[in-house]
Amino acid sequence: MKLHGTLNSPFVRMAMATAIECGLASRVELVGAGAKPDEVNLTLAALSPLGKIPILETDHGRAVFDSRVIMEYFCHAAGNKQLLPDDGHKHFHVLTLLALAEGLGDACVTYRYEDFARAKALQWPEFKARQKTRMEACIREMESKWLPDLAAVTLGSIATACVLGYIDFRQLLPDWRKQHPQLSEWQNTFKARDAMRNTEPNAP
Ligand X SMILES: N[C@@H](CCC(=O)N[C@@H](CS)C(=O)NCC(=O)O)C(=O)O
Give strand pairing partners of 64.
56
Which of 32, 63, 66, 118 contacts ligand X by CB under 6 A?
Answer: 66
- In the complex with ligand X, the residue whose CB is nearer, 76 or 179, is 76
Contacting range for ligand X; rule: CB under 6 A; set: 18-26, 60-68, 120-128, 195-203: 60-68
**Number of residues lying near ligand X (CB under 6 A):** 13
Geometric angle at alpha carbon 113, from 140 and 131, rounded to 5°: 25
d(CA 90, CA 153): 13
Is 138 a binder of ligand X (CB under 6 A)?
A: no
Cα–Cα distance, 167 to 135 (Å, whole number): 10
Rounded to the nearest 10 degrees, what angle do helices 155-169 and 125-145 cross at?
A: 130
- Decide if residue 64 touches ligand X (CB under 6 A): no
Spatial distance between the Cα atoms of 80 and 74, rounded to a whole number of angstroms: 8
Of 102, 139, 158, 186, which lies in the binding site for ligand X, with binding defined by CB under 6 A? 102
199 sits near ligand X (criterion: CB under 6 A):
no
DSSP element (H, E) containing 56: strand 55-57
Task: Confirm or reject binding of residue 168 to ligand X (CB under 6 A).
Answer: no
Query: Of these, 3, 7, 11, 155, which contacts ligand X (CB under 6 A)?
Result: 11
How far apart are the C-alpha atoms of 140 and 123, rounded to whole Å? 27
Residue among 37 and 85 whose Cβ is closer to ligand X? 37
CB of 44 to ligand X, least distance (A): 8
Nearest residue (CB) to ligand X, 115 versus 147: 115
Distances (CA, A) of 10 to 6, 53, 88, 126: 9, 10, 27, 24
Identify which of 100, 15, 8 has the alpha carbon closest to the alpha carbon of residue 54.
15
Q: Which stretch binds ligand X (CB under 6 A): 17-25, 65-73, 114-122, 138-146?
A: 65-73
Question: Is 180 an interacting residue with respect to ligand X (CB under 6 A)?
Answer: no
Q: For residue 52, state whether it binds ligand X (rule: CB under 6 A).
A: yes
The residues that touch ligand X, with contacts defined as CB under 6 A, are 9, 11, 35, 37, 51-54, 66-68, 102, 109
